[in-house]
Copies of this chain bind each other. A is one copy, B any other.
Amino acid sequence: MNIAELGDRILNGERRALARAITLVESGRDDHRAQATDLLDQLAGVGRQALRIGLSGTPGVGKSTFIESFGMMLTGQGLRVAVLAVDPSSARSGGSILGDKTRMERLSREKNAFIRPSPSQSHLGGVARRTREAIALCEAAGFDVVLIETVGVGQSETVVAEMSDLFLLLLAPAGGDELQGVKRGIMEMADMILINKADGDLKATATRTCADYAGALRLLRKRPQDPEGFPKAMTVSAVEEHGLEQAWDEMQTLTTWRRDAGHWASNRATQAQYWFKQEVRHALLARLETPQMRDRMSDLGTQVSAGRLSPSAAADQILAGLSDT
């Protein structure tokens, strides 16, 4: 593959070139990795930026319908929208790998939209790097908005929040005062909470749920990156397509404020630092994951379990072996 030509076609906004480049960054082959690095270097200088929106929500909250309706609204305004998914479970469930395009049928036919199924990698560290590179490729291809969706398995929300400019939490209306088991940490990451399904029979419940979350958000400590009134809870209906424009207006208000106050740039700088450190840690620990090291760990682990070797002595042997490589 001619990397320079591929890069030009991406800069030209060609979706097929973009898809091909994402396949390249997702590849585990060493020669592909070298090509991907070349390509990313070539594109980095262009300096195009999209609004990166992270979106979390457990299955059943209507995430696909929301992305489809929200994406259609954005393309209707002349914006170009890319959708990426972070789903560390997809390798196991197999569910979302083929499903992404069919579950967003209208959006996938839009010429100003690009939908990319989750990579079939179960290792979150690898998924994170590939997703960040896919975002960079989408930005180079001139997309205005990149939606990064997560199903919220394990640490995946943190991963997505750390690569987003805005982080949205999508929830369903809930009866009573139960807070749907939303992890406190997730609520603290959210810039906006959207209560979906505010339609039909669920409308009143959605309004009440929204008020509950608005109350809960007010109890959290104010963050420097938030203007008055944020984080915010709102109701939307993806099915009836209402509330979406208001939500987008709020996102733009927040984004403009953060840009003006310098938080947009400082947030991206902090994120880059975070990923640098994560990559170092991840690559260092990957040295333990070679077949040879796994065998050695397993052998020594058996001796440790049996009490023939102390954990520390066994660890020393592993570390001595690592220094030799």
Is the pair B280, A44 in contact by a Cβ cutoff of 8 Å? no
Task: With CB as the reference atom, state the residue of chain B lying closest to A274.
Answer: B311
Give the CA-CA distance A306 to B270 in the complex, in Å.
10
Is the pair A283, B37 in contact by a Cβ cutoff of 8 Å? no
Give the CA-CA distance A279 to B301 in the complex, in Å.
12
A300 partner, pick from B270, B276, B285, B305, beta carbons under 8 A: B276
The answer to whether the Cβ of A275 comes within 8 Å of any Cβ in the partner chain is yes
Give the CA-CA distance A24 to B300 in the complex, in Å.
26
**A319 with B284: in contact, given A297-B277, A311-B132 (CB under 8 Å)?**
yes
Q: State the main secondary structure of chain A at its contact with B.
A: helix
Residues of B within 8 A of A277 (CB): 297, 301
Give the CA-CA distance A270 to B300 in the complex, in Å.
13
CB A147 to nearest CB in B, in angstroms, measures 21
Per-residue CB contact flags for chain A residues 270-299 toward chain B (1 = under 8 Å, else 0) read: 101101111111011101100000000100
Is the pair A311, B276 in contact by a Cβ cutoff of 8 Å? yes
Is the pair A304, B285 in contact by a Cβ cutoff of 8 Å? no
- Most chain B CB within 10 A, of A268, A301, A312, is at A312
A307 partner, pick from B269, B278, B314, beta carbons under 8 A: B269
Is the pair B311, A269 in contact by a Cβ cutoff of 8 Å? no
Is the pair A311, B275 in contact by a Cβ cutoff of 8 Å? yes
**A312 with B272: in contact, given A277-B297, A284-B287, A287-B284 (CB under 8 Å)?**
no
The answer to whether the Cβ of A211 comes within 8 Å of any Cβ in the partner chain is no
Is the pair A310, B280 in contact by a Cβ cutoff of 8 Å? no
Copies of this chain in its oligomeric complex: 2
CB A304 to nearest CB in B, in angstroms, measures 5
The answer to whether the Cβ of A129 comes within 8 Å of any Cβ in the partner chain is yes
Is the pair A283, B132 in contact by a Cβ cutoff of 8 Å? no
The answer to whether the Cβ of A4 comes within 8 Å of any Cβ in the partner chain is no
The answer to whether the Cβ of A315 comes within 8 Å of any Cβ in the partner chain is yes
Residues of B within 8 A of A37 (CB): 312-313
The answer to whether the Cβ of A216 comes within 8 Å of any Cβ in the partner chain is no
The answer to whether the Cβ of A73 comes within 8 Å of any Cβ in the partner chain is no
Residues of B within 8 A of A276 (CB): 300-301, 304, 311, 314-315
Residues of B within 8 A of A268 (CB): 307
A305 partner, pick from B270, B297, B305, B313, beta carbons under 8 A: B270
The 3 closest A-B pairs by CB, nearest first: A279-B315, A275-B311, A269-B305
23 A-B pairs with C-beta separation under 8 A? A40-B310, A41-B313, A44-B310, A268-B307, A269-B305, A269-B306, A269-B307, A270-B305, A272-B305, A272-B310, A272-B311, A273-B304, A276-B301, A276-B314, A277-B301, A278-B311, A280-B297, A280-B315, A281-B285, A281-B288, A283-B319, A284-B284, A284-B287
